């Protein structure tokens, strides 16, 4: 069985993303899993981010 344990949650505001993070944490806890504090980040999409070998910035997706 293959599975993915990395994912991105996006929202229109930091507050919205923080609320989603809390909901995700509760769902994961219910199945015996947890968010990894060192891998969990909240950032502004305008600054961009790297995810699974790709760099994402507003209106641009770039492979490494």
Considering all CA atoms of the chain, what is the largest pairwise distance in Å, rounded to the nearest integer?
36
Q: Please write the tens of the pLDDT for every residue from 40-54.
A: 888 888 888 888 888
* Strand ranges (E), 1-64: 49-51, 54-57, 60-63
Distance CA 47, CA 34 (A): 26
Q: Please write the tens of the pLDDT for every residue from 7-41.
A: 888 888 999 999 999 999 999 999 999 998 888 88
What is the pLDDT at residue 63?
63
pTM assigned to the model? 0.71
Judged by DSSP in three states, 50 sits in strand
């Amino acid at each position: 069985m293959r599975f993915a344990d990395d994912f991105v949650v996006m929202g229109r505001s930091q507050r919205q993303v923080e609320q989603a993070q809390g909901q995700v944490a509760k769902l994961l806890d219910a199945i015996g899993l947890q968010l990894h504090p060192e891998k969990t980040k909240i950032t502004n999409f305008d600054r961009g981010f790297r995810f699974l070998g790709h760099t994402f910035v507003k209106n641009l997706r770039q492979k490494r």
